[in-house]
Structures are given as C-alpha cells and as structure tokens.
Amino acid sequence: MGNARNIAFWVVLFLLILALFQLFNGGGNTLQSRTIPYSEFVQAVKDDSVSAVTLDGEQVRYRGTDGNEYITIKPEDANLTQLLIDEEVPVEAKQQEQSGFQTFILSLLPFLLLIGVWIYFMNRMQGGGRGGAMGFGKSKAKMLTEKHGRVTFDDVAGIDEAKEELEEIVEFLRNPQKFSALGGKIPKGALLVGPPGTGKTLLARAIAGEAGVPFFTISGSDFVEMFVGVGASRVRDMFEQAKKNAPCIVFIDEIDAVGRHRGAGYGGGNDEREQTLNQLLVEMDGFEANEGVIIIAATNRRDVLDPALLRPGRFDRQVTVPNPDIKGREKILNVHARKVPLGPDADMRIIARGTPGFSGADLANLVNEAALMAARVGRRFVTMEDFENAKDKVMMGAERRSMVLTDEQKEKTAYHEAGHAVVGLELPQCDPVYKATIIPRGGALGMVVSLPEIDRLNWHRSECEEKLAMTMAGKAAEIIKYGPDNVSNGPAGDIQQASALARAMVLQWGMSDKVGNIDYREAAEGYSGQTAGLSVSAHTKELIEEEVKRFIEEAYDRAYKILTEKKEEWERLAQGLLEYETLTGDEIKRVMRGQPPHVEKDDEDEKPSGNAPSVTAIPKTKPRNKPVGGGDMEPEPSA
Ligand SMILES: Nc1ncnc2c1ncn2[C@@H]1O[C@H](COP(=O)(O)OP(=O)(O)OP(=O)(O)O)[C@@H](O)[C@H]1O
Ligand SMILES: [Zn+2]
C-alpha cells in the first residue's frame, strides 16, 4: 500500500466530509423559507431586522438579520414601495425562478464537483488509463503485444553471439514444461550489457516476439519516486502483473537507475531507492524459475550495479551487446534498408566501412536520413549520394551551404584540405582518402574523409606516425601558402587530434623508446591536478612532454616536406576543390594528375582509391571516427 496513495485518499475524504457539512448548513438557507403574514413583515422592517428584500409580483422574499429567509404576500392595498423608501431597505433584483429540481442540483454542485475530482484522482492512482502508465503504487510497466508490431530475431542484426546466448530463453518460453520436466535450470533473468543504441531493447522484444509471449517494458527510472515505498510497491505490482500473464518477458531498461550499488548511493544512502532495489531482489528470489516469467534488464553501466543483483538466481546470465563491427554494421544497414527502395549504386558495404563506431541506432538513423534526403529531392529511390550526405550529416552536422565564407576563407580551406589529402595519399599506411570537401558542415569549414578498409584494432608506430603527419598537413599547408604570420585557427581541431594521438602513443602504447613501456596515463591526469596520480619524477614528466612534442613536430616536418615536393599536385587539388567543392577519392587523384575530375563512363575502371592513406580516428580512445582533417574549426571571432 503506497503511502502517497493513502495520503491522497484521506485528503479527498476530508474534503468530501467538509463539502457535506457545508451542504447541510448553507443548503438549508435556500430550501427552507418560512411564510409569514404581511403584518409581521412590516413589523420586521420597522424593527430593522430585514437586511434585503426581493420582489416578485405580489410575493416578497426577505432575509432577516437572524439569517433566515421569509416569504410573505403583499395585500393589494398596502403601499410597499413607500414603506421600503421610508425605512431605507435595499431591494435586490428578482432572482431567476428555479424549479425545485434545479435548486436541488445547484446545491449539490460543489458536492458533485468534489466527487468528480475524487474519481479523477483515484483513476490516476489506479491506472485507469487503458494499457498506459500507472500511477503511484502501481507498476508503470507497459505491455506490448503483437499488435504493436512483431519483432523477431530477423530484425536484430550484427550481434549474433548475443542472439545465440538468448536462444535458450526463447526455447524455454515456447515450451516451459519440456524444460522443467528435464529438471533443467532456467535462468530467471538476463542482463544485457552494452553501450546505448546497440539494440538491447530490440533484442529483448525479439525474444518475446520469437516466443510469442507478452512483453512488459519499464525503465528503471520509473521505479524511482520521491515518496518512500512507492518504488517498492511498483516492483511488487509489476511482478504480480507479470505472473498473471506468464509466460512473458519483463524488460527493465536502465536498471542502473534502481540497481546501483547500495550504500554507494548519491550523496549517502537513498532509502527509497534501496528499498526498491531490495524489493526487486526479494521478488526475483520469490518466484520459481518455471513460472515462466523472465526478467531481462539492460544497462550500459555494469560496474555500478549492486553485486547482489548478479548473484545466481537473479541476473545470473550476462550478455554483452557491443557496438557492431564492420560486418555487423553491414547487416544492420541491410535490415533497415529493407524498408526503403534502394538505387542501383547503393552499397551497404561501403557505408559500413565508413561508419566505425556507429551503433545500431546510429545506423538506423542513417538509413532514415538518407531516405529523407532522397524524398526531399523527389527521388523515388535512395542513392549512394543520399547515404553519403546522410552520413556526413549524422557525423558532422548538417551542411551549411548558406554560410557565407569570404573568398579568402574558402581558398584557405581549400589549400588546407588539399594538404591533408595530398599527404594522406602520399603516405602508404594511411587509410584510403575517400572524399574531400570545402562545404562547411557542423563546426568544420571543410574536411577530408578517409576510410579504413577494415575495423582497425591495432596500430603500428609507423602507421601512427603517418596518421599524425596527415593530421598536421593542414597546418603545414597554411604555413607554406600564407606564411607563419597568416596561419589561422583552422588547424585547432587537427592539433587536438594530433595531441590526443601522440599522447596515447607515449603515455599508453609505449611507442616512445625514451619514455618506455609504462602506462603513464594516471600520472598524466595528476598533471592536470585531477588526481594525485602516481608520482612521476620531474625528469620523466619533461621526457613525456618532449616525446609528445617530438612526435608531433616530426609529423609536421614530414607533412611540410611532402607538400613542398608535391607542390604542383597540391596546388591543382586546391584549385579543383575551389571549383568543385567536393571531390571523391578517384576524382582527387585525377585532379592531382591535372585531369578533369569526371571521366567518361568507359574509362572508369579504377577501383576506389587503392592504397592511399589518410588519418582517421585514434583507435579505441576516440568514440567515433571523425574525418581526419575534418573538424577543422571555423574561425571563432574571439579565439
Ligand atoms: N543490432 C541491431 N539490428 C538492427 N537494428 C538495430 C540494432 N541495434 C539498434 N538498432 C536500431 O536502433 C534502435 C534503437 O535500439 P535499442 O533501443 O534497442 O537500443 P538500446 O541498446 O536499447 O539503447 P539504449 O541503451 O539507449 O536503451 C532500434 O529500434 C533499431 O531500429
Ligand atoms: Zn585540418
């Protein structure tokens, strides 16, 4: 019994009693008027015991100073007007005659109103809203059935291991008797762990869809209420509902909202949350695995969960749902592309290649954006170009064609981006340059995109060095072209990327022989005063700084050298970008050779840029590959 619900109940009851009291008190006034002889009325007027009179033909009503109402009939010969004037008695306008019934209803009005309010309140508390959210003590779980669209394993792609691990649950739900007859141990709960948007909800729904059982969904944060006891009673109610509908699946999203380590709460013990969590534990222990209720919870913070949740008999099965790899991305794209008409050139493999770090939800969004782009220009199918644009939009923000750039800014951007591209193409270990553009997008004035052919998990030092050189090429280009005095803040994004990569090389990956194979990241945090860190000698600190700087400076010099050697090609590419604004990998190569970017169909046999290079994201330390060279900052007025 939710406390809050009780309080509300008593408040409403109190109001009702108050209303009834009022009714019998005040109501009496209008209902009981006493009829008196006219002479008595005249006497009352003279005695000043009349507060006001109402005239209605022969009938005179008046309220006496005693609070009662009287009625009298004026005899024909009496001069009432004169009497009222003499005695200065105010006359009130004649009231609308009301039937007895109307009067009755009217007097009941406040009472009815209160009943209405009361019913509304009780309804809200008991979840009168059909299939919808339930209030206070009731679980807020929403039940999804096949009416809401059936989701099956076919709709979930790219996370095959996770699917396999959950197959067993589907089997069990389809045929609980078979399992219990064999005395097999059925998991009561499974915990899906993984970053946002990787399809945890989808997976849980697919289990329900495959097994053909109802699916209850609730978010951990729905249990968290300010009233003590409400969360716990919601948990209880949720389990009751689930048992009634067994076999079924209960999905608790963001379980960390309730499931945080007890005692390690925010700002010291949170009674309500702990009580809720305890209730959850009690309920999970309280039902038998073969009752057919399976609890699936999702979190991206396994580390904060209370260990009690992970004990056998609770969420003893843990399934990792990672971001998809390149193959997985292709499959997910295909799943979502089923719903849109594709142009003949649309190749999901290439898109998968260009979207490392994208989650399933990001990819779904990408396909949707591409379809919108096609619709906007009135095409009936979605082309590769739409996908490209959608990808750039998702990654970098929308194109800002309307942004006014001076010719000078445009030219500088063109030389800067051409610098990245030329160095990227020159260095063999950089990822292939896929595209260069000087159309502003998001916060960047232009960018060079390079795509790894496969997801890169490890990096050699020489590759890192080449990547650094490509990143620093933008700045080198600006200096060669405009001189050190005229370098802009354009390379700010590059410098940030280069610093992050160089630091990782030195502090984390042991790529500096001088610093050695020691992970100094914690110490580096100490630098910025965040943590005490472990103590590092002043000498080592200097060494680290020196080495980070050396990697970057050497990369810069390398880029500078390449650009001076390849000055002509670079110049041609910059001019080409100024003319065409966006060039693909093949077009870039042609323009650099001094050919027109677009070739006639018949000699288009070149495969997408062979072994050309590029800089891209720093592996693992960066969430998503931002185009290198990309993120060139737009000049900020103040910066
Ligand atoms: N593996 C996948 N296969 C197909 N579609 C996917 C996949 N992963 C995500 N999606 C798409 O992304 C949408 C959102 O995914 P979902 O809500 O299941 O992610 P989630 O992991 O539960 O995220 P969160 O942790 O933010 O709740 C899905 O409805 C689906 O369209
Ligand atoms: Zn740049």
- Where do the DSSP E strands lie in 447-508? 447-450
Tell me: is residue 200 an annotated ligand-binding position.
yes
At 382 the three-state DSSP class reads strand
Phi, psi of 298 (to 5 degrees): -125, 145
Tell me: is residue 344 an annotated ligand-binding position.
no
pLDDT of residue 326: 82
Which of 364, 400, 433, 427 minimizes the C-alpha distance to 591? Answer: 433
Burial tier of 244 (Cβ tally within 10 Å: 0-12, 13-18, 19+) = exposed
CA angle 247, 200, 339 (to 5 degrees): 100
Predicted confidence (pLDDT) per residue in 441-485, tens digit = 766 778 887 766 666 667 788 889 999 999 999 999 999 999 988
Rounded Cα distance between 236 and 367, Å, is: 41
Give the ligand with the smallest distance to the CA of 359: 1
Asked if 52 and 41 touch (Cβ cutoff 8 Å), the reply is no
pLDDT of residue 275: 81
What are the residues whose beta carbons fall under 8 Å from the beta carbon of 168, sequence distance 6 or more?
A: 187
List ligand 1's pocket residues with C-beta within 6 A.
156-159, 196-202, 253, 298, 300, 332, 335, 360-361, 364
The rounded Å distance from CA 417 to ligand 2 centre is: 6
For domain 407-603, the question of CATH label 1.20.58.760 is answered with: yes
pLDDT of residue 425: 92
pLDDT of residue 182: 67
Chain CA centroid to CA 410, Å: 36
pLDDT of residue 54: 77
pTM for this prediction? 0.57
The rounded Å distance from CA 202 to ligand 1 centre is: 6
ipTM: 0.93
pLDDT of residue 490: 76
- Dihedral (CA of 152, 153, 154, 155) sign: positive
Give the ligand with the smallest distance to the CA of 298: 1
Tell me: is residue 494 an annotated ligand-binding position.
yes
In percent, the amount of the chain with pLDDT more than 70 equals: 73
The structure tokens listed for 93 are 């306008």
For the chain, count helices (H), then strands (E).
21, 14
The rounded Å distance from CA 156 to ligand 1 centre is: 8
Rounded Cα distance between 550 and 558, Å, is: 12
Q: What is the third-level CATH fold of 326-396?
A: Helicase, Ruva Protein; domain 3 (1.10.8)
Predicted confidence (pLDDT) per residue in 521-580, tens digit = 766 654 444 444 567 788 888 888 999 999 999 999 999 999 999 999 999 999 999 888
In the chain, the amino acid numbered 555 is: A
Nearest atom (ligand 1) to Cα of 362: 12
Q: Structurally, what CATH architecture does the domain formed by 3-101 represent?
A: 2-Layer Sandwich (3.30)
Q: Which CATH superfamily is domain 142-320 in?
A: P-loop containing nucleotide triphosphate hydrolases (3.40.50.300)
Phi, psi of 463 (to 5 degrees): -65, -40
Burial tier of 607 (Cβ tally within 10 Å: 0-12, 13-18, 19+) = exposed
Rounded Cα distance between 5 and 124, Å, is: 10
Among residues 283, 369, 417, 465, the one annotated as catalytic is 417
Active site residue 417: yes
For the chain, where do the domains classified as CATH 1.20.58.760 start and end? 407-603
For the chain, where do the domains classified as CATH 3.30.720.210 start and end? 3-101
What stretches of 47-99 show up as alpha helix (H) in DSSP? 80-87
Tell me: is residue 539 an annotated ligand-binding position.
no
> Mean pLDDT in runs of 10 for the chain (639 residues)?
57 67 53 79 84 76 81 80 73 56 70 75 49 49 68 86 85 76 73 89 90 86 71 84 84 85 56 80 77 86 83 83 86 90 85 82 91 87 88 72 75 92 91 83 74 67 92 94 85 87 88 83 56 68 91 95 94 92 88 81 40 34 40 41
